[in-house]
């Protein structure tokens, strides 16, 4: 069922607690990419325009339930002030008397950012007392942190027991776009899966084997499929305990009339280094001591042709070790192929795929780049996300 959003609830004059995902990368105290901040600006501005007092809460990194100075949210607060063109109040705590006092000082349209939630172990434990303390400073809860919606934490699920809880605009968009792929995609539906391990994509594989028209397998996980077909893979990373899953996926694809394509040729290297010796070989000719690092040009031609036929395309996971320039061609050219399409729904499923596209500077040419790595994967697996399930349903 669809979830209520911030449009469906009265916020004028209300204190609104907003869960955001400001889990950004800090380099020498500065934000290297402010995309996660920009993504929630529509929700913040809507609340400002409708007279709310806005209290933002987020985590940053994995401090392990204790204060880590390098993981404070002060740099985030500074950048958010610049983006909103107004001062954002920044606290060094997220619960307690000082927080309560700061909230009382908020004016309509004012914005307050609480300190890193994960400085408290109670956050990840979904401690009800901690959730109640968070909720006590607000009258409404808006969840705009899709990237953590798969976690049943105090700030994602716990607070919903104490406040009327709805989705923000980013959460709404994530749910609408990903749901449309699962339920009513324009066809042909082409899904490209990459990344290092098949174990990370098992759920997506299983959920799409009766939904997709074409399934493209690249990245490190392709080695497991190649070995499952009896082909040599040299020193490539292979999950031997997942070979049966790869065989079963290929068999199910055949039974369902799905075109499941694995690489025809690959770029191999003699070691896992950016400056390793490399060459391109057919998948039947991978020698001992070498490992798969990228898909080859024949494979790119085939994958590109399949993508060009699609009306809905989902891509999750890079096609090779894109961090090393010598092995980034497969990922770069697939991104370019997607960017050249018109009238096609293209969705990038979070995590490293989103990082790739941001690096290439082509995110604006996609229909949607998911902000949720693990959350988007679990949603596409068909799992229920605790942070979504807890929000108010729209009436039928």
CA distance 137 to 37: 23
The residue from 145, 195, 349, 351 that is catalytic is 351
Determine the pLDDT at residue 264: 97
Which residue is catalytic, options 45, 197, 252, 365? 197
Residue 38 CA to residue 100 CA, distance in Å, equals: 27
329 is catalytic: no
Model pLDDT, residue 365 = 53
Q: pLDDT tens, position by position, for the chain (396 residues)?
A: 699 999 999 999 999 999 999 998 888 778 888 888 999 999 999 999 999 999 999 999 999 999 999 999 999 999 999 999 999 999 999 999 999 999 999 999 999 999 999 999 999 999 999 999 999 999 999 999 999 999 999 999 999 999 999 999 999 999 998 998 889 999 999 999 998 888 888 888 888 898 999 999 999 999 999 999 999 999 999 999 999 999 999 999 999 999 999 999 999 999 999 999 999 999 999 999 999 999 999 999 999 999 999 999 999 889 999 889 999 999 989 988 887 888 888 888 755 666 666 655 554 555 677 777 788 888 888 889 999 999 999 985
Question: Which of 172, 194, 210 marks a domain boundary?
Answer: 172
Which of 390, 394, 386, 375 minimizes the C-alpha distance to 174? Answer: 375
Same domain, 119 and 225: no
The pLDDT value recorded for residue 358 is 61
How many domains are there within the chain? 2
Q: Is residue 165 part of a domain?
A: yes
Which entry of 14, 36, 173, 227 is annotated as an active-site residue?
36
Residue 342's pLDDT is: 82
pLDDT in the model for residue 198: 82
**Same domain, residue pair 264 and 142:** no
The CATH number assigned to the domain holding 94 equals 3.40.50.1260
Is 229 assigned a catalytic role?
A: no
Annotated catalytic residue 132: no
pLDDT of amino acid 344: 87
Which DSSP category does 392 fall into?
P
- pLDDT score, position 327: 95
359-367 long-range contacts, Cβ below 8 Å, gap at least 24? 359/322, 360/332, 360/335, 362/335, 362/336, 363/35, 365/338, 365/339, 366/338, 366/339, 367/177
Residues 152, 193: one domain? no
Do 32 and 160 fall within a single domain? yes
C-beta of residue 316 within 8 angstroms of C-beta of residue 350 = yes
Under a CB-based contact definition with an 8 Å cutoff, are residues 210 and 256 in contact?
Answer: yes
Task: Give the domain extent around 143.
Answer: 6-172
In a domain, 392, yes or no: no
Q: Based on the residue annotation, tell me whether 382 is a catalytic residue of this protein.
A: no
Residues 247, 271 within the same domain: yes
pTM (2 d.p.): 0.87
Q: What is the pLDDT of residue 393?
A: 95
Are the beta carbons of 141 and 135 closer than 8 angstroms? Answer: yes
The confidence score (pLDDT) of residue 26 equals: 85
Are 48 and 122 contained in the same domain? yes
Q: What is the pLDDT of residue 263?
A: 97
Return the pLDDT at 357. Answer: 62
**Tokens at residue 371, please?**
């902000």
């Amino acid at each position: 069922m669809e979830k209520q959003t911030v449009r469906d609830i009265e916020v004028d004059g209300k204190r609104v607690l907003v869960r955001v995902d400001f889990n950004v990368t800090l380099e020498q105290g500065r934000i290297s990419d402010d995309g996660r901040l920009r993504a929630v600006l529509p929700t913040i501005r809507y609340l400002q325009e409708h007279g709310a007092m806005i209290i933002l809460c987020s985590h940053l990194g994995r401090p392990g339930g204790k204060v880590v100075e390098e993981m404070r949210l002060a740099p985030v607060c500074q950048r958010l002030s610049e983006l909103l063109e107004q001062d954002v109040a920044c606290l060094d705590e997220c619960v307690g008397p000082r927080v309560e006092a700061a909230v009382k000082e908020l004016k309509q349209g004012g914005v307050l950012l609480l300190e890193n939630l994960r400085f408290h172990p109670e956050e990840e434990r979904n401690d009800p007392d901690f959730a109640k303390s968070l909720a006590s400073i607000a009258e409404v809860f808006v969840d705009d942190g899709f990237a953590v919606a798969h976690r049943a934490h105090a700030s994602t699920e716990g607070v919903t027991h104490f406040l009327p809880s709805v989705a923000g605009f980013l959460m709404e968009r994530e749910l609408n776009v990903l749901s449309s792929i699962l339920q009513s995609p324009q066809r042909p539906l082409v899904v490209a899966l990459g990344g290092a391990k098949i174990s990370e994509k098992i759920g997506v594989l299983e959920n799409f084997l009766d939904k997709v028209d074409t399934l493209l397998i690249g990245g490190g996980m392709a080695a497991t499929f190649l070995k499952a077909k009896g082909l040599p893979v040299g020193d490539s990373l292979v999950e031997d305990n997942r070979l049966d899953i790869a065989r079963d996926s290929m068999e199910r694809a055949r039974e369902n009339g799905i075109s499941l394509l694995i690489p025809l040729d690959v770029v191999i290297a003699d070691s896992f280094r950016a400056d390793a010796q490399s060459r391109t070989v057919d998948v039947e000719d991978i020698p001992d001591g070498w490992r798969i690092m990228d898909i080859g040009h024949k494979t790119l031609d085939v994958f590109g042709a399949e993508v060009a036929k699609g009306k809905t395309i989902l891509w999750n996971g890079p096609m090779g070790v894109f961090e090393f320039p010598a092995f980034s061609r497969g990922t770069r050219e697939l991104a370019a192929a997607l960017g050249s399409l018109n009238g096609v729904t293209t969705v990038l499923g979070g995590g490293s795929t989103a990082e790739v596209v941001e690096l290439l500077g082509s995110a604006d040419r996609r229909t949607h780049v998911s902000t949720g790595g693990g959350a988007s994967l679990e949603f596409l697996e068909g799992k229920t996300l605790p942070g979504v399930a807890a929000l108010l349903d729209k009436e039928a």
